[in-house]
Amino acid sequence: MKKSFILIMIMLSVACLITSCGKNPAKTHTHSYGTEWFSNATHHWQECSCGDETEHEEHTFDAEGICEICLYDSNHDCVFGTQWHYDDDNHWHECTICGEIGNIAEHTFDAKYICTVCGYGVYEIGDTGPAGGIVFYAKPAYSDGWRYLEAAPADIVIDEVYGFQWGAYDYLWTEGTSEAIGTGKENTDIIVAKLAELDETNRAAQVCVAYTLNDYNDWFLPSLYELNEMYINRVAIGGFDISDWPYYWSSSAYEGNYNFSWVQGFYYGNMGYYNRNYADRVRCVRRF
């Protein structure tokens, strides 16, 4: 039996998505900087939930090598993470405390021009990404630190629970998120910060942030049009619920009503907005 809800369906063809609907206009965002200090070996700064930085200044060290502003300790022993970072020529690990680079080496490419160590290279839709997900979107070239989007190989399931609320239901909040491709990570950061203010847990964006696969923990809830790309390439990705009532949450809030956020259907391919307190499926993505 279909659950009762208020859902405005917007039937969109693939042609519409590629042409007139593919403009994905950006939405406004008012920066709100936290009080926590972020730092590397030389500087400290504060961040907005969208990642924008302020108060970016060099450390001021006391006689013991402790920054007087952010308390960064210059005498620490570096702890290098397991996730690879890379550019066109090299890959490396970064210290989780100060960001110092270690284990830097040149790429080792296979026949498909993909580095066998870090996964950097040229991918096609349907290829397995560095984290073990499935590549479903590619930009023409690297920009803003990424070129590809990969989807997790399966929906999030926790203790046999398949659906999760979006959260922030009945709160006067819709600002800051976007539907555009390339904004899912920033959307997720904004949502997670808001949910923390509201003391909510186990929501769609939060379970993506907590998700880890093959030591990669930089997953997020896709934006509306990122999610639509997943629908377009659903066969290559695999594992979606394509029953007659499957909806997947995006990280895009619906600005017309503070109780709704955007969803993507995987049976008819329709996009619509849906009550945030209903539990729907979640498929996490990452960019690289």
Q: Do 239 and 172 lie in a common domain?
A: yes
Q: Do 185 and 259 lie in a common domain?
A: yes
Residue 10 lies in a domain: no
Q: Do 168 and 204 lie in a common domain?
A: yes
Q: Using 50, 70 and 90 to split pLDDT, how confident is the model at 49?
A: low
Residue 276 lies in a domain: yes
Residue 69 lies in a domain: yes
Domain count, the chain: 2
> Rounded distance, CA 178 to CA 53, Å?
20
The per-residue pLDDT for range 221-266, each reduced to its tens digit, is: 999 999 999 999 999 999 998 876 779 999 999 988 889 999 999 9
Residue 74 sits in which domain range?
Answer: 38-124
Residue 64 lies in a domain: yes
Q: Do 277 and 214 lie in a common domain?
A: yes
Residue 21 lies in a domain: no
The per-residue pLDDT for range 111-169, each reduced to its tens digit, is: 767 888 987 878 999 999 999 999 999 998 888 889 999 999 999 999 888 899 999 88
Residue 143 lies in a domain: no
> Rounded distance, CA 263 to CA 37, Å?
35
Environment class of residue 210 by beta-carbon count within 10 Å: exposed (0-12), middle (13-18) or buried (19+)? middle
Q: In Å, what is the CA distance from 173 to each residue of 45, 170, 257?
A: 27, 8, 9
